[in-house]
Amino acid sequence: MRMLSTRGIAPAASISDAIAAGLAPDGGLYMPASLPSFTPADFDGADTLAQVAQRLLRPFFAGDALEGELAAICATAFAVEPPLRVFGEANDYILELFHGATAAFKDYGASFLAAALAALPRGDRPLTILVATSGDTGAAVGAAFHHKPGVRVAILYPDGRVSPRQAHQLGCFGDNVRAFRVDGSFDDCQKLVKTLLSDAAFKQDVPLGSANSISLGRLLPQMAYYAHAALGHWRAGGNPLNFVVPTGNLGNALACFLARSMGLPIGRLVLANNANDVLARFFEGGDYAPQASRTTLANAMDVGAPSNFERLQWLEPDAARLRAELSAESVSDDEIRATIVDAFQRHGEIVCPHTACAVRVLQRLRARGAVGDWAVVATAHPAKFPEVVEPLIGREVPLPAALAAMLARPSHAQPLAGDARALGDLLRVP
């Protein structure tokens, strides 16, 4: 299938070219030219996450250089099955996407992208993967590419705006994975990446790829866990599953939206924002008005200008129709704290600050009379945010083994002014 740019100027690309490029040459984001449509019966016999992923993604890879590799890529990227389990009340569920290498949902998309890029033919110069991160992306991408031959990774994160544990993770890889702590916000990091990725002359010197959620190689595979969870739920009881998704740059929630558009048994989709409420304002009827990002307890969602909104608008340019299909609500830091305490005291559940936003939004929806089966999406393990969670619940959060191993390694990040020239010069050095 052909991939098109949201800006409509760049020529159509194959999916492997779109994955290798990250951003389209006209500065737009790649999207599939059409969305295939499925019924649940199309997935008969596909039970594991990897099997569901392969069937779901097959139409996008038809005729592509990676078509023959898709099964193997899915087997690598989707080896970890995310549990969907009851959360507190009957009909409330939690989909735990944090059982991968770095304990956040981004491990799925990052491993898919790394496996896809590793399967593509490479030139003799190494590919440099640029990744801006508000916390979790960088670690997931670092882990997915660490020691992969022919690829190096430059992680850019906002200095002082990620948790100490996240900062440690970002700097602990070494070898082909370098971390830069940028004097600025996440949006500044993202701007640096976009500037270099759209600089054709620079890319002649230094072949670049992207691993942000702007890369189709991360976005499309994220549909798989929604499809798998919704199909499992549908098979068990014949009901669609509604989702509340913690949302920052809108990559994870957009994947859910796409899966639903392709016919998977997904009901309502509600986005949970932190105090960065640009989407909540839009879906409540305001203009789409990007803002400077605000620092919150759910720092991986501190995004004032969510990149993937451009894709959503490309899919549905009519604001009224978009508002009929999706909604978004904003959650304050005080509510995040109260929700973490409440989930622990009432249900013995420990949730991370991002997941807490979704839990709070579901509580509001239920209070307003929402019926049916709803799943909140747990985007990270609470042990990644001990400085927020532990004082609230009054105990230590046990570390998953993979996270403990990473934190035991030494960590280093290089300081960087928010300046594309300076970064370009550093990257020219092999």
Ligand X SMILES: *Cc1c(COP(=O)(O)O)cnc(C)c1O
Binding site for ligand X (CB under 6 A): 104, 106, 135-137, 213, 246-253, 300-301, 354, 379-380
Nearer residue to ligand X within complex by CB, 246 or 427: 246
Nearer residue to ligand X within complex by CB, 184 or 382: 382
Look at strands 89-96 and 151-158 and give their pairing: unpaired
Nearer residue to ligand X within complex by CB, 10 or 114: 114
Sheet holding 89-96, edge to edge: 84-87, 89-96, 373-378, 241-246, 266-273, 327-330
For residue 428, CA distances in Å to 7, 200, 422 come to: 29, 14, 10
Instruction: Give me the least distance between CB of 307 and ligand X, in Å please.
Output: 9
Instruction: Give me the least distance between CB of 358 and ligand X, in Å please.
Output: 9
Instruction: Give me the least distance between CB of 212 and ligand X, in Å please.
Output: 9
Rounded to whole angstroms, the maximal C-alpha distance in the chain is 59
Instruction: Give me the least distance between CB of 88 and ligand X, in Å please.
Output: 20
Nearer residue to ligand X within complex by CB, 266 or 300: 300
Instruction: Give me the least distance between CB of 105 and ligand X, in Å please.
Output: 7
| Neighbour count for residue 268 (Cβ, 10 Å) | 17
Instruction: Give me the least distance between CB of 304 and ligand X, in Å please.
Output: 12
Nearer residue to ligand X within complex by CB, 54 or 307: 307
Instruction: Give me the least distance between CB of 150 and ligand X, in Å please.
Output: 27
For residue 429, CA distances in Å to 23, 141, 205, 314, 423 come to: 23, 21, 10, 38, 10
| Neighbour count for residue 136 (Cβ, 10 Å) | 29
CB distance 182 to 422 below 8 Å:
no
Taking Cα atoms as reference points, which of 281, 276, 280 lies closest to residue 301? 276
Nearer residue to ligand X within complex by CB, 138 or 418: 138
Alpha-carbon Rg of the chain, whole angstroms?
A: 20
Nearer residue to ligand X within complex by CB, 206 or 378: 378
CB distance 80 to 100 below 8 Å:
yes
